[in-house]
Amino acid sequence: MQQPYEPPADTSAGGDRTGRGGRAARVLVVDDDPTVAEVVSGYLDRAGYVVDRAGDGPTALAGAATHWPDLVVLDLMLPGMDGLEVCRRMRERGPVPVIMLTARGDEDDRILGLEVGADDYVTKPFSPRELVLRVESVLRRTRTTAGERPLDAVGLTVDPAARRATKNGAELALTLREFDLLAFFLRHPGRAYGREDLMREVWGWDFGDLSTVTVHVRRLRNKVEDDPARPRLIQTVWGVGYRFDPAGPSGPSGQGEE
């Protein structure tokens, strides 16, 4: 994104910018374009976040090791180590929400980011104000809910407060958004939801690319189904969307990757 620097607007009204322990949330901005990094950091700082910056992958990983962020805004096209590799390496260290920035509108790029665990993506050029709202949305969705009881069905257990999920006692390696999606399904068994419904209820978006939902459902099936190619728990309801059915398929509602 090449655009003139805009002085940050006052975006501090509304929203919850707290991170772990009640402190201000820390956001790591990783972009090799100084103008983009300055604009994004300025808006996030004005919104009340603690902002760290890095211009390449190794610097980002070193900074995260020193001050682990509550969220990362990560450019896909970085010199040397690209954003996909940075995201993979951060995921190996621990769970952290990631919003991927891409200069290209190609669907393959967006899906690649989601496949490695990005929780959201924004295509350049973008509105810095919109990015701040996306940051708020992701942080709000990933914050634990105190006092919420664990959910369980057919060997799956989800503990929203601990952000922990297991299958038959074995820990599931879920991204933060996959966790939210599984928890939603367990809260609403037997009901079919369209992709628009899931985007609104799980992502908190009223609009967006519905392939985001498709990719996350596919990734979640790969982790919770005994045979992801023939899913029994997260079923496709053709013409509608998806249904979580602890009893397994009862009819030709549809299976497969959609």
Q: What is the pLDDT of residue 240?
A: 93
Task: Check residues 12 and 127 and name the one with the higher pLDDT.
Answer: 127
> Can you give the pTM of this predicted structure?
0.68
Q: Which of 62-76, 107-121, 172-186 has the lowest mean pLDDT?
A: 107-121
Residue 150 has pLDDT above 80, yes or no: yes
User: Which residue in the block uniquely carries the two structure tokens 């209820």?
Assistant: 201
**H-helix or E-strand spanning residue 89:** helix 83-93
Q: State the pLDDT confidence band at 257, using cuts at 50, 70 and 90.
A: very low
Residue 5 has pLDDT above 70, yes or no: no
Q: What is the pLDDT of residue 256?
A: 45
CA distance 81 to 122: 20
Q: For the chain, what percent of residues have pLDDT higher than 90?
A: 50
DSSP for 125-141, please give it: S--HHHHHHHHHHHHHH
Task: Check residues 96 and 3 and name the one with the higher pLDDT.
Answer: 96
Average pLDDT score over residue span 92-96: 83
Q: What are 34-66's pLDDT values in tens digits?
A: 999 999 999 999 999 999 999 999 999 999 999
* pLDDT mean across residues, the chain: 83
Q: State the pLDDT confidence band at 249, using cuts at 50, 70 and 90.
A: low
Average pLDDT score over residue span 63-80: 93
Residue 143 has pLDDT above 60, yes or no: yes
Q: State the pLDDT confidence band at 24, using cuts at 50, 70 and 90.
A: confident
Task: Check residues 236 and 137 and name the one with the higher pLDDT.
Answer: 236
**Long-range contacts: 216-223, Cβ < 8 Å, 24+?**
216/114, 216/177, 216/178, 216/181, 217/181, 217/242, 218/257, 219/114, 219/115, 219/175, 219/178, 220/174, 220/178, 220/181, 220/182, 223/167, 223/172, 223/173, 223/174, 223/178
Q: What are 199-243's pLDDT values in tens digits?
A: 888 887 776 678 889 999 999 999 999 999 999 999 999 999 999
